[in-house]
Structure 1
Amino acid sequence: MKIDFAVIGGTGVYNPKMLTNLKIVDEDTPYGKVSITIGEVFSKKVAFLARHGQGHSVPPHLINYRANIYALKNLGVKKIIATAAVGSLREDLRPGDFVLLDQFIDFTKNREQTFYEGGEKGVLHLDMTNPYCPETRNLIAQVCPKDITLHPKGNYICTEGPRFETPAEIKMFSLWNADVVGMTSVPEVVLAKELGMCYASIAMVTNFAAGISQNELTHAEVTETMAQNKEKLQDLLMVVLENIAEKQNCVCPLATKELGNLGKEE
């Protein structure tokens, strides 16, 4: 049985009861080794990747994004459902709400952003008109249980971390029409698209961002909100995995179609 689907999550997302016939594999990639849990659900094989490692041991700016995505591609994964904890820049996006991301703004500084760095691999100018797979996003919106508040769109601004943002930064991000802020979606979504995989991200609002929140921000607040809402997130992931199809009826597999046309002067 092929492994067509993957879930990328952080602390509190994975529950061993979600999958059966569990095994852990260490996948070698040109960028490093990645440990991945593989199991079955609804007669489908699913790979689960803990983005921050076991026990949330890797900070967001040091995650080996290229190794993670390359390892999933090696396993045959076609569609990725990612989860993320985010801070809200809007009063109507409240802690415990879920947001189905459709756009991002990249405010990171020191991350490897591509598999294509010239040489034999060439250079790829990737189209990011729809960074998050519209087909997969539509499925998630359609099957979402009614007891979950899911906002159908959200503009995610990705910061370097691991520190939280200042109120001045949050005010600037608000002027840029960002809705939520986090530290992990970029370059994860970019790398998945480069390898022709569908990628959709379900963001859980864990707190109001700095300057909007009445309190100082703490990671404990984030994990507490995650703990309170993890069952809803797991329920949503299960219904998505039950209904998701192997076939990619979208443009995601065609992301590298211009690669062979490169080399001309711009």
Structure 2
Amino acid sequence: MIGFIGGSGIYEALPLSNVTEHEVSTPYGDPSAPVTVGEFGDTGTEVAFLPRHGPDHQREPTNLPYRANIYALKELGVERVLASNAVGSLREDLPPQTLVVPDQIFDRTKHRDSSFFGDGIVVHQPFAEPYCPHMVDHLHDAASEATDADAEKGGTYVCIEGPQYSTKAESEFYRAQGWDLVGMTAIPEAKLAREAEMCYATVAGVTDYDVWKEDSEVTLEEVLENAAANETAIKQTIEHAIETLPDARECDCGHSLEGTVNTPTDAIPAETRERVDIFVGDYL
């Protein structure tokens, strides 16, 4: 099963058949919405869709149920996750309505739970490559082949806390670091997907120039207008990526927790073991 997490502007599932809705309860609360599961196209591939902010965009970035969302997809059998994000551009040559498949993240968040673990179990998860490299390549190829949009591969997504947009000083600082995109939802979603041993990559739709550009003051109206314009290209990208995705995973994401548990099994509280069994049960 393939998961699709829709970001701002993507609140409805892809064209699926034999659709069912799953209300999944997790140890981390309820996900953003019931998960829509159905068969995609002629391939019969099962796809699980989850709108990140809820069906009516009721949830703001800091307090999104990221852990519940990833847990729910894991419980349903998802192994690979495609996502979308609405982002601001930190580069002149990445104008609004450009698609970008980033390969790096810089975390500027402050108030988010970024791990499934803790409470008696310590797990040190490698995260040098925050997006699955094979999925980055595949998603960029899909964007290039299936859309008329300009599609860029690679780049750093700096994830800020929000819900406020950047100050000019912050925006200029991000540009000075050589970063490419600014958004509010890459973290902890990417970290949690790695802890869940899922392949994970995102297609980011540029909606604005943040506030660094002369005479550019990012507004919600501009963001929503360009997010709507990006919606078709993002869905075309995701659909083509699903249609052409190899049956087998070609990466190490499926066993990324191997050797990462730093706590002896007999020292982990029983309640904690039960909570995280879906992730590390095979390693304990």
TM over 0.5: yes
1:235 CA displacement: 0.9
Q: 2:32 aligned with 1:31, yes or no?
A: no
Counterpart CA distance in 1 for 2:232 and 2:177 is 33
**Higher mean displacement: 96-105 or 224-233:** 224-233
Q: 2:230 aligned with 1:229, yes or no?
A: yes
Q: Secondary structure at the match of 1:221?
A: helix
Counterpart CA distance in 2 for 1:214 and 1:27 is 46
**Higher mean displacement: 186-195 or 253-262:** 253-262
Q: Secondary structure at the match of 1:47?
A: strand
Task: Specify whether residues 249 and 17 from structure 1 end up closer, same or farther in structure 2 by C-alpha distance, changes over 3 A only.
Answer: closer
Q: Which runs of 5+ in 1 are unaligned?
A: none
Contact 1:159-1:181 at 8 Å conserved across structures:
yes
2:199 is aligned to: 198
Q: Secondary structure at the match of 2:107?
A: strand
Counterpart CA distance in 1 for 2:254 and 2:163 is 32
Q: 2:8 aligned with 1:7, yes or no?
A: no
Task: Specify whether residues 32 and 227 from structure 1 end up closer, same or farther in structure 2 by C-alpha distance, changes over 3 A only.
Answer: same
Q: 2:158 aligned with 1:132, yes or no?
A: no
Contact 2:125-2:260 at 8 Å conserved across structures:
no
Q: Secondary structure at the match of 1:48?
A: strand
TM-score scaled by structure 2? 0.87
1:261 CA displacement: 5.0
Counterpart CA distance in 1 for 2:88 and 2:14 is 28
2:87 is aligned to: 86
Q: Secondary structure at the match of 2:81?
A: strand
Counterpart CA distance in 2 for 1:49 and 1:181 is 22
Contact 1:158-1:183 at 8 Å conserved across structures:
yes
Q: Secondary structure at the match of 1:55?
A: coil
Q: Secondary structure at the match of 1:156?
A: strand
Task: Specify whether residues 208 and 38 from structure 1 end up closer, same or farther in structure 2 by C-alpha distance, changes over 3 A only.
Answer: same
Q: 2:176 aligned with 1:175, yes or no?
A: yes
Aligned residue runs from structure 1 range 1-266, under 5 A: 4-16=1-13, 18-34=15-31, 35-41=34-40, 42-119=43-120, 122-144=121-143, 145=145, 147-212=148-213, 214-262=215-263
Task: Specify whether residues 64 and 210 from structure 1 end up closer, same or farther in structure 2 by C-alpha distance, changes over 3 A only.
Answer: same
1:14 CA displacement: 4.5
Counterpart CA distance in 2 for 1:92 and 1:17 is 30
Contact 1:78-1:246 at 8 Å conserved across structures:
no
Counterpart CA distance in 1 for 2:136 and 2:130 is 11
Give the length in aligned residue pairs: 258
Q: Secondary structure at the match of 1:32?
A: coil
**Higher mean displacement: 56-65 or 221-230:** 221-230
**Higher mean displacement: 168-177 or 244-253:** 244-253
Task: Specify whether residues 77 and 182 from structure 1 end up closer, same or farther in structure 2 by C-alpha distance, changes over 3 A only.
Answer: same
1:135 CA displacement: 0.9
Counterpart CA distance in 1 for 2:72 and 2:214 is 38
**Higher mean displacement: 252-261 or 31-40:** 252-261
The superposition leaves residues 153-200 of structure 1 with CA deviations (integer Å, 9 ceiling, x where unpaired) of: 110000001000101001111122210000000000000000100000
**Higher mean displacement: 14-23 or 203-212:** 14-23
1:7 CA displacement: 0.5
TM-score scaled by structure 1? 0.92
Counterpart CA distance in 2 for 1:139 and 1:214 is 36
**Higher mean displacement: 229-238 or 211-220:** 211-220
Give the RMSD, CA atoms, in angstroms. 1.5
Q: Which runs of 5+ in 2 are unaligned?
A: 265-284
Q: Which runs of 4+ in 1 moved over 6 A?
A: none
The superposition leaves residues 198-244 of structure 1 with CA deviations (integer Å, 9 ceiling, x where unpaired) of: 00011110000112152322112111001122111111111001011
Counterpart CA distance in 2 for 1:253 and 1:199 is 11
Counterpart CA distance in 2 for 1:213 and 1:239 is 37
Counterpart CA distance in 1 for 2:250 and 2:142 is 18
Task: Specify whether residues 213 and 67 from structure 1 end up closer, same or farther in structure 2 by C-alpha distance, changes over 3 A only.
Answer: farther
